[in-house]
Structure 1
Amino acid sequence: MHVGFVMNPVAGMGGRVGLKGTDGKVAEAIDRGAEPRAPDRATRALDRLATAASETSVSVAADPMGERLVRGAGFDPVRVVDPFGDDDRGRGGDPPGPAETTAEHTARVVRAFVEEGEEAEGDDGETGPVDLVLFVGGDGTATDVAAALEAAGSEGPMLGVPAGVKVYSSVFAVSPEDAAEVAATFSRTERREVMDIDEDAYREGEVHPELRAVAHVPVADDLQSSKQTASGTVESLAEGVADDIRERDGEGVTFVLGPGSTVGAIKAELGFEPSPIGVDVWRDGAVVLRDGTEQEILDALGEANVIVVSPIGGQGFVFGRGNPQLSPAVVRRCDLRIVASRAKLDDVRALRVDTDDPELDAELAGWVRVRVGKFETRMMKIA
């Protein structure tokens, strides 16, 4: 198998610092102290691919879009393109910083993967068209890859290693390791939707996913579904959870209330205007933090802490999609309470977590109780 590997080095950087995305916000994310997320996600996928399919040939682009990481995983890749060129690299030939990458750079890489190949510097021979474009990023990167494939007239498949904040598209594997397993074992493809949203509207609490492309994607169980809006009322659920929270007012218990409409209904029942896609913190009858970043949430925690979250409709992710502020450091200091409407749970086979910490993911796996009504609960498995 011949894989073309490309990484968006800034994907997901805006999540933990409260930006809800990174499109057009890289500099601000860096100013807020954001750390790159994509390289670690890429390394996890590449390490698993090296184990599952060590004979895979890999084409890459020059750094910072993945070459060093591919070599670090033990592959001997062929560099088919330098998307920046000598002018962008300057006289010293140093790679541009991650913040300098753009959608056009991604497009140049994908076009090179589709073409018959260019002789790579330091390598003999040429590469042929790739069998799969394996990319690391979020919905914006997925859109860029799909658009470049279409513009090049290719119906070759693409598969995403999830590293963005939102990840609405159904072209992503559930985790980096799953992406590698799918890449190593798939035998057929199907057409799937590439979705994205307006991040500025998203930051204002308006979520309007738009279809950006339809792409060929490997068929496997370890692919996520597109996010869908769950139907059904959550009023009684919100009332029951809010009553439970009020009963603990005065005890010093800190409640970390995740994003989304279901937990938003609980916030409204408590009597405050929720930040629709942000994380709010409640303690002893009052809001102590609105729309917090990872560090702000950590600073707000006390001795006893509870996270209240709802799985993403259509996907079942409790952590890892839409709530990166709830980092492993935050999750490890809190008890977990999962809430969901019955309709939402009817749409998912299992719950999922993808926290960036495989050990924590393993600790969270297993059967959990999910609150579905004022008093009712349902057992669901975190796979």
Structure 2
Amino acid sequence: MKIHRQRWPQGVVGPALGLIVNPFSGLGGSVGLKGSDGFETVQEALRRGAVPQANRKAVLALDAIREDLPQLKIVTAGGAMGEAVARGAEVIHCADATATTGIDTTAAAQVMSDYGVDLILFVGGDGTARDVAAGTSSGIPILGVPAGVKMHSSVFAQTAKKAGRLAALFLAGSRDVTLREAEIMDIDEDLIRKDRVSARLYGNAFSPYLERMSQNAKAGAGPGEEAIANAIAFEVASDMRPGCLYILGPGTTTHRVAKTLGLDATLLGVDAVVDGRLVGRDLDERGLLALMNNHETWLVVSVLGGQGSLFGRGNQQISAEVIRRVGRKRIIAMASVQKLIALGNQPLLVDTGDDEVDAMLSGHIRLVTGPAQQTVFPVQP
């Protein structure tokens, strides 16, 4: 493995970064498709009005890298797979950007491995991580810029900017950055759309690690947490105000709120409730905004186990615009004390794609942790 342990002066040949962008990653999030894998899913997302976000996140990461390493050698894939955003980069792999598939991603990773890059930075989600790892030579580290709908793998940084910063620190030889064997997880999207979760470990890859920049793998509920989750759900359902719209985010904890009310809500979609009635099921951003026009609206969300994510992981239907209209004071966040302890010193994370909304959410937020129990916890982008 080639690891450089010194900062290279400007103009001196140093480390090389490989960049791969999945231009369609995350496309299905805001429109309620729970993923973006497959040509048909991409086309359906575009038909529903989804706006690609991957290139914007790639630019955020690259800008952060170039702040520290302005002369860094970058090689990339052609067109929308990197060339479109990486100004001045050397293109060493070409693909049909109008029909990019996982095969193209794997092929690009193979070419970059043969080239001898020191790190492959990819923009995408769990599916992209799988494809990159499949084409990467043993020992070459990879690092993900989170841009997908689901990112359960631990090869990702927490945000695009942190991915760029972490990549720069690693390539500059910072002693603070270590290499870890990170898990590559993925979930069957077809089963997710049927409200069934089937997660699988696909392997491990070396990835740069720095606390408060790197993302942990998603963790399931611990022993005894089911009863606590039921109690939290009952507490939230009991406090719902008459005439108000309550948006229920994805996940088992929020699903328990709906079950407490006797509603047939989705497990992994976003639903809406007024006066104990289900007024919207498996809604996308557009559907949520339409319902919000006539009601005072509250958001009910849970903390993602292991990662500590509040917004931006698997609940992109609750977009920055939805959050902006709701306002910070009408967000009901839920988490067991055990889940918060498991985060260690990490704050809760928000990655809405909107700097103003992320800043609005930053600070401290009140969490429902049990019957008549609340705690205050830090939040940061």
Report deviation, 1:357: 0.7
1:333 aligns with: 325
Match of 1:54 among 70, 73, 76: 70
Which stretch shows the higher mean deviation, 133-142 or 233-242? 233-242
Instruction: State the distance in 2 between where 1:309 and 1:179 align.
Output: 25
Q: Secondary structure at the match of 1:70?
A: coil
Counterpart Cα distance in 1 of 2:56 and 2:332: 28
CA distance in 2, matches of 1:277, 1:215: 28
Residues in 2 aligned to 1:136 and 1:114: alpha-carbon distance in whole angstroms: 17
Residue of structure 2 in register with 1:108 after alignment:
107
Whether 2:125 is the aligned partner of 1:138: answer yes
Distance in 1, matches of 2:81 and 2:153, equals: 21
Deviation at 1:333, TM superposition (A): 1.0
Match of 1:298, SS state, is helix
Counterpart CA distance in 1 for 2:230 and 2:50 is: 37
Structure 2 match to 1:310: 302
SS at match of 1:108: helix
| Cα distance, 1:235 vs structure 2 | 1.6
Instruction: Give the distance between the partners of 1:41 and 1:184, measured in 2 at CA.
Output: 16
The one-letter code of the counterpart of 2:47 is D
CA distance in 1, matches of 2:276, 2:129: 43
User: How many Å separate the matches in 1 of 2:251 and 2:265?
Assistant: 9
Q: Which amino acid aligns with 1:288?
A: V
Corresponding position of 2:135: 148
The one-letter code matched in structure 2 to 1:238 is A
Deviations 1:16-41 (A, max 9, x none): 11100011211111111111121111
In 2, the alpha carbon distance for the partners of 1:236 and 1:158 equals 41
Kept in 2, the 8 Å contact 1:110–1:148? The answer is yes
Task: Using the TM superposition, give the Cα deviation of residue 219 of structure 1 relative to its aligned residue in structure 2, in angstroms.
Answer: 1.7
Q: What secondary structure is seen at the aligned counterpart in 2 of 1:332?
A: helix
1:147 shift after superposition: 0.8
Name the counterpart of 1:158.
142
Matched, 1:198 2:188: yes
**1:225 paired residue number:** 216
TM alignment of 1:81-100, pairs within 5 A: 81-84=93-96, 96-97=97-98, 100=99
For the residue of structure 1 that corresponds to 2:81, the secondary structure is coil
What is the aligned partner in structure 2 of residue 189 from structure 1?
179
Residue 23, structure 1, aligned to residue 37, structure 2: yes
Query: Which residue does 2:8 correspond to in 1?
Result: none
Task: Tell whether 2:226 aligns with 1:235.
Answer: no
CA contact (8 A) 2:265 2:278 kept: no
Secondary structure, in 3 states, of the residue corresponding to 1:107?
helix
Q: Deviations over 1:315-346 (max 9, x none)?
A: 11000001000100000111211111222222
Distance in 1 (alpha carbons) for counterparts of 2:230 and 2:106: 46
Instruction: Tell me the distance in 2 between the aligned counterparts of 1:373 and 1:324.
Output: 26
CA distance in 2, matches of 1:103, 1:285: 43
Shift of 1:217: 0.1
> CA–CA distance in 2 between the matches of 1:202 and 1:143?
18
Q: CA deviation at 1:52?
A: 2.5
- The CA RMSD over aligned residues, in Å, is 1.2
State which drifts further: 176-185 or 45-54. Answer: 45-54
- For the residue of structure 2 that corresponds to 1:226, the secondary structure is coil
**Whole-Å separation in 2 of the counterparts to 1:346 and 1:261:** 19
Cα distance in structure 1, aligned partners of 2:285 and 2:124: 20
Distance in 2 between the 1:83 and 1:131 partners?
A: 22
Partner secondary structure for residue 372 of structure 2: coil
Identity %: 40
Could you list the per-position Cα deviations for residues 257-292 of structure 1 after superposition, in whole angstroms to 9, with x for gaps in the alignment?
A: 111011111111111022000111111331110010
Counterpart CA distance in 2 for 1:81 and 1:240 is 55
**Is the 8 Å Cα contact of residues 83 and 108 (structure 1) preserved in structure 2?**
no
Aligned residue in 2 for 1:379: 376
- Offset at residue 303 of structure 1 (A): 4.4
The alignment's TM-score, normalised by the length of structure 2, stands at 0.89
Provide the C-alpha distance between the structure 2 equivalents of 1:141 and 1:253, rounded to a whole number of angstroms: 40
* CA-CA distance at 1:50 after TM superposition: 1.7
Partner SS for 1:369: strand
1:351 counterpart = 2:341: no
Alignment of 1:208-287 (within 5 A): 208-221=198-211, 222-231=213-222, 232=225, 233=227, 234-245=229-240, 248-249=241-242, 252-287=243-278
For residues 344 and 261 of structure 1, what CA distance do their matches in structure 2 show?
14
Secondary structure of the 2:145 match is strand
Gap runs ≥5 in structure 1: 85-95, 117-128
SS of residue matched to 1:206: coil
Counting matched residue pairs gives: 347
Say if 1:147 and 1:213, in contact at 8 Å, map to a contact too. no
Q: Determine the C-alpha separation between the residues in 2 that align with 1:270 and 1:276.
A: 14
Matched AA of 1:144: D
Partner of 1:3: 17
Contact kept? 2:79, 2:95, Cα under 8 Å: no
Q: What stretches of structure 2 of length at least 5 have no aligned partner?
A: 1-14
- 1:321 aligns to what? 313
Q: Secondary structure of 2:85's match? A: helix
> What is the letter of the counterpart of residue 289 of structure 1?
G
Moved over 2 A (4+): none
